Amino acid sequence: MGNEYLRAFVIGSSFLVFLPYFFAVSRFKKSYFNYNYTSYTFLAPIVLGLMNVVSLFIANQFNLSKRNRYLLISILAPTLVMITVTVFNIYNYTFQRRISHYIQLYLLYFIVWNFVVFNLDKYV
């Protein structure tokens, strides 16, 4: 059972999973940042790994299929990020830019969790 959670953490924090997030953030204007990018690059893989562990825990508790597990986390994870970004004012955005960022965030999470992580979990 413990190996299952360790495996989920390793998959969630793997290079193929966090690379799209790093690429997306690296394209932002530096004037948007209210945080240290170095801290982000350290924390992001850990948080993504933990999100995958949480998704496994939820799936085990509610007997979810892999597909439903990753669909659920692709909605929950960006919602948590969106709340964090808003509450802690992580970025210097206009209202329109903030909405655009949130839409892109949900799309990125959907693609990463339902294609990249799903297939890593399936084939690794």
Cα angle vertex 32, ends 30, 36, to 5°?
65
pLDDT tens, 4-60? Answer: 999 999 999 999 999 999 988 888 777 777 777 788 889 999 999 999 999 999 999
The DSSP secondary-structure symbol of 84 reads H
Distances from the Cα of 115 to the Cαs of 25, 30, 70, 118, in angstroms?
20, 29, 9, 5
Per DSSP, the three-state class of 114 is helix
| Residue 65 main-chain phi, psi, to 5 deg | -70, 165
Residue reference for tokens 């206009």: 94
| Residue 94 main-chain phi, psi, to 5 deg | -75, 170
Cα–Cα distance for residue pair 60/62, rounded to 1 Å: 6
pLDDT tens, 87-97? Answer: 988 888 889 99
Crossing angle of the two packed helices 37-62 and 66-87, in degrees rounded to 10: 140
- Given this model, what pLDDT does residue 34 score? 78
Q: What's the whole-number average pLDDT of the chain?
A: 93
| Predicted TM-score of the model (pTM) | 0.91
